[in-house]
């Protein structure tokens, strides 16, 4: 259930203040085990019509005020992330730009000029119907994997991480 997922998140958030880190990391694993069984159990706010849109999309659509910056681009470029050629939209042409040519249209990190429609958007600003997760199955699995790694359970953590990634894509 959601309460146990939230307990896991809270326990992990405060792990560096714990007097018994290993015991609390095991509690994270236990809480996750008592929380969501699959992505179908996500605690999410759903959006399904023009009167009820994802808030990030609605903010962008009504104000034209969100843009992408060079810091995320740099991380994707450095890691040769294959999603890079699908992430950015040119605001003037409404077309995807490949990763290399998109750099010139990004807001400089920390130094953008105030404007509307002057910089490129990433696809996340166009997530009109994407749900907002209060707590999700895949987040719980990521918490469990982190706890397992910190406890030295690397083989189990690899399997949990695979489950988390699979869940995130579902």
> How do residues 121-140 score in pLDDT, each as one tens digit?
777 777 778 888 889 999 99
* DSSP per position, 76-117: HHHTT-TTHHHHEEETTTTEE--HHHHGGGSBPTT-PPP-SS
Residue in this structure with the two tokens 């005020």, named with its chain if needed: 65
Write down the residue that tokens 């994270």 correspond to. Answer: 28
pTM exceeds cut of 0.85: no
Q: Please count the other Cβ atoms lying within 10 Å of the Cβ belonging to residue 170.
A: 11
Report pLDDT digits (tens) over 7-66.
999 999 999 999 999 999 999 999 999 999 998 888 888 887 777 888 877 777 777 666
Percent of the chain predicted with pLDDT > 70: 88
Look at residue 90 and tell me whether its pLDDT is greater than 70: no
């Amino acid at each position: 259930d959601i309460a146990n997922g939230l307990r896991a998140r809270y326990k992990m958030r405060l792990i560096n203040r714990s007097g018994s880190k290993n015991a609390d990391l095991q509690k994270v694993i236990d809480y996750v085990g008592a929380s969501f069984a699959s992505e179908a159990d996500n605690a999410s706010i759903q959006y399904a019509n023009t009167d009820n849109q994802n808030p990030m999309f609605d903010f962008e659509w009504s104000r034209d005020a969100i843009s992408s910056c060079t810091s995320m681009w740099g991380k994707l470029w450095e890691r040769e992330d294959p999603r890079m050629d699908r992430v950015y939209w040119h605001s003037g042409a409404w077309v995807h730009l490949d990763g290399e040519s998109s750099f010139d249209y990004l807001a400089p990190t920390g130094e953008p000029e105030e404007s509307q429609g002057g910089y490129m958007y990433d696809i996340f600003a166009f997530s009109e119907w994407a749900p907002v997760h209060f707590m999700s199955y895949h987040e719980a699995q990521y918490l469990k994997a982190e706890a397992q790694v910190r406890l030295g359970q690397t083989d189990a953590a690899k399997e949990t991480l695979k489950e988390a990634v699979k869940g995130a894509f579902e």
